[in-house]
Chain A
Amino acid sequence: MFKAIIARCKQGHRTMAYPREPLSLPERFRGYPELKGGLCPDECRICADACPVGALSCQPELSLDLGKCLFCPECANACPHGAISHTADAMLAANNREDLVIRPGDEHRLAQALEAKMLSLFGRSLKFRSVVAGGCNACEADTNVLSTIGWDIGRFGIQFVASPRHADGLWVTGPVTEHMREALLMTYEAIPAPKIVVACGACAIGGGPFRGSPEAHDGVEGILPVDLFIPGCPPHPVTILDGLLRLLDRMP
């Protein structure tokens, strides 16, 4: 008992101040991309060819689909003109699929708060039931992190619960494998309405690295209506938390 108390003193208080204060991210962190289409010569497709998942397009102009992007260093490394770079901005979540497609000069479209009625229902207490529908367990790992003392997502009234009957929303990770499709739909059905759906990670949004696999469905699009898209492979915990706080209108 005394040892545990001494350890507690040594370990200290560790819950971060976010969103009151910004979070410091590693220097090499790859966040919201910066596109400088003016630097692209005609007919250059080097970045699009380098992208392993077809997130980049050069026609008619340079554009990047954050929903497909794996945030790997390949495009920025390949582009000899410096037209693509990643900033340290980890705020990526959006409400609409089309908001995830960015073009040079676009304003950064972030997730908006739920409508007033939903906000009055979920603004103070939002419980999610998670369904892992394929994927690689990295999104799940970084979602789990939110419940540790460092992030303490409970302080915002957000919690992951064990039963869909206790939940207000469905948390989907993975590209929705054929083998998980039925379980996903059944879990969704079991959540009482009104309910929301979050697609967390590149797989859940568009299939991620497994896009096009005959055994998976390229994400939840066309299977369930999505209220919040959280890009990343996997999304950084701060990207997830930021998206949720914006959805609940809890940003200071």
Chain B
Amino acid sequence: MTPGLLFTQNGSAVNRNEIPEHSGERFLETLVSAIQGGWRVVSYFGAPEAHLVRLYCILSFKSHAALGIMSTAVSGKSFPSLVAEAPQLHLFEREIAEQFGISFEGHPWLKPVRFAAPLASTSAVPPRAPEKVGVMDFYRVAGDEVHEVAVGPVHAGIIEPGHFRFQCFGEEVLHLEISLGYQHRGVERMVLGRPGLRTLKCMETVAGDTTIGHGTAYAMAMEALCGVRVPAKAEAIRGIALELERLANHTGDLGAIAGDVGYLPTASFCGRIRGDFLNMSAELCGSRFGRGLVTPGGVQFDVGRELAEKLRKRIDVARREVTNAVDLLWDSPSVMGRLEGTGVVSEKDALDLGLVGPAARASGLNRDIRRDHPFGIYNVAQLPVETAKGGDVYARTLVRWLEIEKSLHFIEEQLAQLPGGSIASPAAQVGGDQMALSLVEGWRGEVCHVALTDGRGELERYKITDPSFHNWSGLAMALRGGQISDFPLCNKSFNLSYCGFDL
């Protein structure tokens, strides 16, 4: 284990004064040696303090289910960049630079991330106006036959806004640069102060398709701050809802992947079956996206024997239908021909970039928060982690399918053995001067929430890291050397969140 870190566990809170404060040099040394020793950066962010910025780094070491925290104070205008040693930090450093005006020396290209106004200004860095969204220097490839394709922010379908620049040589993509920020609503700034119902609603809508994922991560952070224990039944219901969310999104995406290769049967069937899973979430709590289900302390809706039985029957039907629909893919050589070898992200690139979720597992990385840092129901009920080798669209499709099978089984098991008792613990006082840390394996991957409270128990800084934050670079990498016409297909296989990134 690495010295210099405060060790903690998923879903727990620590006193802020226990977090090791290092000099800048020691902080960087510790970070580098931790990464070399197999630790992975979960979150790296700044928080304003009087006249300075405090940087916090949260690391994960999966085989011990350990999380490590350390901090350093930056009082000047700049701080050394570690991107050359640890590419997984590149966006985190850009984000800190944008939010606090700190320049990272040695960073290859400190561009804006969300084109947002600074979170805080310190004495070393005067306040500045935000830059105009999407206006920046893009990486360009020069050459007679090289051309540039610019797409967005408004796209052809009903999807979120982003801007994509392809540097192409004929059909071949030499480089893709993705510029986001259009969905920036200022969530992290909005939730500061005393946490309340509004905070919960903002968390549920960080990324609408990950309502349960983000809602649970927020609830876990609050429970850690309050020292509240969640009843067993509530943990089981949360698990069921989280897996239903995974099922709906994976099924929808498998349909969308089929649609993008022009294979309409699976596209049509999965588009409908996705709705069946959403309707099961609505049976739980009235909302197809799980709104209002998770609350700090537990859940707001109980699942009785009758509802459990009804859901089990519907899961059974959905399993038969989704299996029937997806099996067509594996049996169609023309579909396989389009998926195999398309949009490859090598294991090394996935590791270097710090990918998470199904995208990482499809590149052979064996990481899953449900097993590595178990939380809630996953402490007692394990789900097998599915990985694949190829790192291509096929591997990402396959991993999604294998996860669908496991989630269906998990939900059936949980519905059959729902514990009794209450579904929520009473609210309690939020602890002051604490840092709470929670990780949830959402359907897209690792959702990380970090809450820092001041002496009165009010949120002083709230840092959300959506899996998309780790994975957008993976999509850009998948396009390298590929065909520009494969972009929609690669994009669907990742299906990343714009709003979860833009925050």
Q: Chain A residues in contact with chain B, CB under 8 A?
A: 3-4, 7-8, 10-11, 14, 25-30, 50-53, 70-74, 77, 86, 130-145, 148-150, 160, 162-163, 171, 174-175, 177-180, 183, 187, 208-210, 212-216, 233-234, 236
Residue of A135, A144, A178 near B499 (CB, 8 A) is A135
Interface size for chain B: under 10, 10 to 19, 20 to 34, or 35 or more residues? 35 or more
Q: Is the Cβ of B208 less than 8 Å from the Cβ of A136?
A: yes
A71 CA to B282 CA, complexed, in Å: 13
Q: Is the Cβ of A136 less than 8 Å from the Cβ of B271?
A: no
A21 CA to B235 CA, complexed, in Å: 38
Known: A137-B497, A215-B189. 20 other contacts (CB 8 A): A4-B328, A11-B321, A130-B158, A132-B183, A134-B183, A135-B208, A135-B499, A136-B207, A137-B498, A137-B499, A138-B211, A143-B158, A150-B271, A179-B184, A209-B205, A212-B190, A213-B190, A215-B116, A215-B186, A234-B288
Q: List 23 A-B contacts (CB under 8 A).
A: A7-B328, A10-B321, A26-B279, A26-B286, A29-B286, A50-B197, A131-B161, A132-B160, A134-B184, A134-B499, A138-B289, A140-B208, A141-B209, A142-B288, A148-B272, A150-B271, A160-B157, A162-B156, A177-B184, A209-B204, A213-B185, A234-B289, A236-B288
Closest chain B residue to A31, Cβ basis: B286
Closest chain B residue to A29, Cβ basis: B286
A190 CA to B157 CA, complexed, in Å: 16
A162 CA to B182 CA, complexed, in Å: 19
Q: Is the Cβ of A180 less than 8 Å from the Cβ of B158?
A: no
A208 CA to B499 CA, complexed, in Å: 15
From A53, A213, A215, residue with most partner B Cβ within 10 Å:
A215
Residue of B182, B197, B271, B283 near A26 (CB, 8 A) is B283
Q: Is the Cβ of B183 less than 8 Å from the Cβ of A135?
A: yes
Q: Is the Cβ of A7 less than 8 Å from the Cβ of B286?
A: no
Q: Is the Cβ of A72 less than 8 Å from the Cβ of B198?
A: no
Q: Is the Cβ of B275 less than 8 Å from the Cβ of A145?
A: yes
**Is there a chain A Cβ closer than 8 Å to B265's Cβ?**
yes
A143 CA to B275 CA, complexed, in Å: 12
Top 4 nearest A-B pairs (CB, nearest first) are A138-B208, A136-B208, A28-B286, A148-B271
Which residues in chain B, 186-217, are within 8 Å of chain A measured between CB atoms?
186-187, 189-190, 196-198, 200-202, 204-209, 211
With A131-B154, A177-B185 in contact, do A52 and B300 touch (Cβ < 8 Å)? no
Residues in A neighbouring B332, C-beta threshold 8 A = 4
Closest chain B residue to A203, Cβ basis: B205
Q: Is the Cβ of A72 less than 8 Å from the Cβ of B201?
A: yes
Closest chain B residue to A163, Cβ basis: B156
Q: Is the Cβ of B209 less than 8 Å from the Cβ of A138?
A: yes
From A28, A74, A208, A234, residue with most partner B Cβ within 10 Å:
A28
A66 CA to B133 CA, complexed, in Å: 32
A233 CA to B286 CA, complexed, in Å: 12
Closest chain A residue to B268, Cβ basis: A149
A113 CA to B409 CA, complexed, in Å: 48
Q: Is the Cβ of B499 less than 8 Å from the Cβ of A28?
A: no
Q: Is the Cβ of B292 less than 8 Å from the Cβ of A72?
A: yes
Closest chain B residue to A5, Cβ basis: B265
Residue of B181, B202, B207 near A137 (CB, 8 A) is B207
Residues in A neighbouring B189, C-beta threshold 8 A = 213-215
Q: Is the Cβ of B272 less than 8 Å from the Cβ of A150?
A: yes
**Is there a chain A Cβ closer than 8 Å to B285's Cβ?**
yes
Residues in A neighbouring B279, C-beta threshold 8 A = 26
Q: Is the Cβ of A72 less than 8 Å from the Cβ of B291?
A: yes
Residues in A neighbouring B265, C-beta threshold 8 A = 4, 7-8
Contact with A along B258-300 (1 / 0, CB 8 A): 0000000100110110110001001111111101100000001
Q: Is the Cβ of A234 less than 8 Å from the Cβ of B208?
A: yes
**Is there a chain A Cβ closer than 8 Å to B410's Cβ?**
no
Q: Is the Cβ of A136 less than 8 Å from the Cβ of B205?
A: yes
A132 CA to B206 CA, complexed, in Å: 15
Residues in A neighbouring B283, C-beta threshold 8 A = 26-28
**Is there a chain A Cβ closer than 8 Å to B79's Cβ?**
no
With A26-B282, A27-B283, A213-B190 in contact, do A134 and B185 touch (Cβ < 8 Å)? yes
A53 CA to B196 CA, complexed, in Å: 11
With A135-B499, A137-B497, A213-B190 in contact, do A73 and B300 touch (Cβ < 8 Å)? yes
Closest chain B residue to A12, Cβ basis: B321
Distance between B307 CB and nearest chain A CB, rounded to angstroms: 9
Q: Is the Cβ of A14 less than 8 Å from the Cβ of B198?
A: no
**Is there a chain A Cβ closer than 8 Å to B417's Cβ?**
no
A51 CA to B292 CA, complexed, in Å: 12
Q: Is the Cβ of B158 less than 8 Å from the Cβ of A148?
A: no
With A136-B206, A180-B161, A233-B291 in contact, do A29 and B282 touch (Cβ < 8 Å)? yes
**Is there a chain A Cβ closer than 8 Å to B301's Cβ?**
yes
Residues in B neighbouring A29, C-beta threshold 8 A = 282, 286
Residue of B205, B268, B284 near A28 (CB, 8 A) is B284
Which residues in chain B, 111-164, are within 8 Å of chain A measured between CB atoms?
115-117, 133, 153-154, 156-161
A148 CA to B117 CA, complexed, in Å: 40
Q: Is the Cβ of A136 less than 8 Å from the Cβ of B269?
A: no
Contact with A along B358-385 (1 / 0, CB 8 A): 0000000000000000000000000000
Q: Is the Cβ of A11 less than 8 Å from the Cβ of B154?
A: no
Closest chain A residue to B273, Cβ basis: A11
Distance between B135 CB and nearest chain A CB, rounded to angstroms: 11
**Is there a chain A Cβ closer than 8 Å to B325's Cβ?**
yes
**Is there a chain A Cβ closer than 8 Å to B422's Cβ?**
no
Q: Is the Cβ of B161 less than 8 Å from the Cβ of A53?
A: no
Closest chain A residue to B280, Cβ basis: A26
Residues in B neighbouring A177, C-beta threshold 8 A = 182-185
A171 CA to B115 CA, complexed, in Å: 25
